[in-house]
Structures are given as structure tokens and as C-alpha cells.
Amino acid sequence: MKPEGIKAGRFPFGQIPAYEDDEVSGLVQMGAILRHIGRRFEAYGDGNVEAAQVDMVLDAVEDTRRSYGTLVYTDRLDAAKLAEFAAKIEAGFLTQVEAFMADRSGSEGKFLATKARPSIADYVALDMLQLIVRILPEALKEHTGLSTWVAGMEARAGIKAYLESKPECRETPNGVSLG
């Protein structure tokens, strides 16, 4: 599919995944796909302020995902590197996201970057936190706000059904036996 798509010009940057719906075709780059889906399905916040907050959370998750990717794919979950990662996300991502949730007035911590409904930031952050907990089962122990938020997100009907379905990708989320 990829060589044919590149040759046909459907993958402008020579990459997959690619996304198509009745509005776009050949949309590549995960961030662009995610933001399109967020805008299309009203999961990008209400107004510019919430959209900016969604973007902040998405970028924070992406920074953590890069570190996680290095840990899993390059360092192969080396014990010393895992300890470094744990310390880094404890002082950074976990503490900062929890503080960000607590500081937002009126949201009651129900959603990370928005007030009325979950956004793409919530879904991406949930995925990242689930990956973190797979390799660091106690990571959220001291983060009751995040633990409560994760439980609330996992209880949402669609997410709950997905988690209960246990598709193969949930068993090896990185395509390798690590993480």
C-alpha cells in the first residue's frame, strides 16, 4: 500500500498512517490526523483557549512519548534507563499534568484541557498513561488526581468496551514484547 500510495501521490510525505474520510484523503502525519478528527468530531475544545490547552497537553504527551519510545525501542527497557525514565516523568509529566488539571477552575478535573466533553488530549494522554503503567505499575500511586481521572476515562462506555475486548494490539502495544 505504501509504495503504491507514494507513487500515486496519496501520501504527500511518503508516510503512513494515512487517513481518509468524506472531507479529506491522503492526510498523513499523526498530529494532523488527530487534530482533524478532533475538529471534525468536536473533540478539540470550545474556542481558541481550550484548543490551545488541548495543543499544550498533546505536545506534553508527545514529549513523553518520545522518551518512552527511546526507552522501549532503543534502550529495550534497560533497568537503569527505566529508572531514569521513571524519575523524569515523576518530576515532569505526571506531576505537571496533575497540577495542570488541578489549576483549571471549573473543570473539576473531569477532562484535561476542556470543560464540557473529552478532547483528543484526553484520549492521547490516557493512552500514554496506560503505556506508562504497563512498565511502571506504581507510577500513579502518588497521583490520586491522575488515578481518578484515568479510572473515569476508562469507565466511559466506548473505552470500557475497547478495554474489555482485549484486541491483540493491547497485549503488545508497541509491536514488540516490551512495554
Whether residue 52 has pLDDT greater than 70: yes
Same domain, 63 and 126: yes
* pTM confidence score: 0.89
Domain tally for the chain? 2
Locus of grid cell 479529506 = 24
Same domain, 25 and 77: no
Same domain, 95 and 74: yes
pLDDT tens column, 101-125: 887 755 556 899 998 899 999 999 9
Same domain, 20 and 73: no
Burial of 115 (0-12, 13-18, 19+ CB in 10 A): middle
Burial of 129 (0-12, 13-18, 19+ CB in 10 A): buried
Domain holding 17, by residue range, is 2-40
Same domain, 129 and 60: yes
Query: Is 176 a domain residue?
Result: no
Locus of grid cell 471549573 = 106
**Residue range 36-48: mean pLDDT, rounded:** 96
Q: What 8-state DSSP symbol labels residue 19?
A: E
Query: Is 130 a domain residue?
Result: yes
Three-state DSSP state, 27: strand
**pLDDT score for 173:** 76
Same domain, 163 and 146: yes
**With contact defined as beta carbons under 8 Å apart, do 59 and 127 qualify?**
no
**Residue range 70-76: mean pLDDT, rounded:** 95
Whether residue 156 has pLDDT greater than 60: yes
